[in-house]
Structure 1
């Protein structure tokens, strides 16, 4: 494989590893927000922001951790035939199916960008008592989808290398 592909794979894997590790710590922030919400409901007037903030943190956790999950190959896989195939056959099938994922993610990103632009242009707020602006979480969603696209391309290159009998890391 050309050096630029090796560089791309190393760079994207490093970025997604770090972003994924950061996203893991969002669970602790989420637990803190939910603990505060529970204590405040029992002790005094519950704050209006905790439920929506918990939802936003959870969405950030999922979206930013998606590329890391792809990188670790921890996605769910239908293993009816897959385990019986040779490494080369698996790599070929993975290279073809990752293209379908990339197409889906590109369409999802297109919709996400349009939705984020709308939220910024019109100052979209979430309905409810707290009424936070929606653009920050939509921006996080677009960043997460972009990272998943980049990681999927990295996986595609790795699968191509494995199909050719070489390893790319």
Structure 2
């Protein structure tokens, strides 16, 4: 593979590793929000109206920002009817082909997320609840997470293509 592709793969993998490791820590923030909600309701008798939505937003950031790292680690679910019987080069060739569908899907999803984020920022879109938080922050995280997954899918394509040719990218 040409040097620019190897550099792209290295930096995308590095960025997604760091962001994925950060996203892992969001589970503790989520636990703290849910714990506070429970303590507030049961101990103080004062329910908080923002806890459910905030936990949904944190969980969204958790899986959207961690999605690219999961893709990088091949930690996603794969249906295995024939795959385990194939050689590493056959697996890489099939993965290089099928990731093209994922790249197309993520591209469409990214442009939809971009449009939705622009709308939320321009019109100061709020959620229709009693707390009524602005939606643009979660949409920004959503769009960034989808973009990172798109970059990781492209990185995986290059790695699979190189492996299918018998010259894996280290």
Question: TM-score range with shorter-chain normalisation?
Answer: over 0.9
Task: Say yes or no: does 1:125 pair with 2:143.
Answer: no
Aligned partner of residue 77 in structure 1, secondary structure: coil
Report how far residue 22 of structure 1 moved.
0.2
Return the TM-score normalized by structure 1.
0.98
Over residues 66-91 of structure 1, what are the superposed CA-to-partner deviations in whole Å (9 max), with x where a residue is unaligned?
Answer: 00000000011111100011111111
Structure 1 stretches of 5 or more lacking a match? none
Partner in structure 1 of residue 142 of structure 2: 141
Report how far residue 125 of structure 1 moved.
0.2
The separation in 2 between residues aligned to 1:13 and 1:113, in whole angstroms, is: 23
The separation in 1 between residues aligned to 2:12 and 2:88, in whole angstroms, is: 24
Aligned partner of residue 93 in structure 1, secondary structure: helix
The separation in 2 between residues aligned to 1:167 and 1:160, in whole angstroms, is: 8
Task: Say yes or no: does 1:105 pair with 2:124.
Answer: no
Aligned residues: CA RMSD: 0.6
Report how far residue 2 of structure 1 moved.
0.8
Report how far residue 49 of structure 1 moved.
1.0
Partner in structure 2 of residue 88 of structure 1: 89
Report how far residue 167 of structure 1 moved.
1.4
Partner in structure 1 of residue 115 of structure 2: 114
Over residues 92-134 of structure 1, what are the superposed CA-to-partner deviations in whole Å (9 max), with x where a residue is unaligned?
Answer: 1000100000000000111111111111111110011110000
List 4+ stretches of structure 1 deviating above 3 A.
none
Aligned partner of residue 130 in structure 2, secondary structure: coil
Return the TM-score normalized by structure 2.
0.98
- Tell me the number of residue pairs that the alignment of Structure 1 and Structure 2 aligns: 169
The separation in 1 between residues aligned to 2:30 and 2:60, in whole angstroms, is: 11
The separation in 2 between residues aligned to 1:167 and 1:119, in whole angstroms, is: 42
Query: Where do 1:57-96 residues align within 5 Å?
Result: 57-96=58-97
Partner in structure 2 of residue 7 of structure 1: 7
Structure 2 stretches of 5 or more lacking a match? none
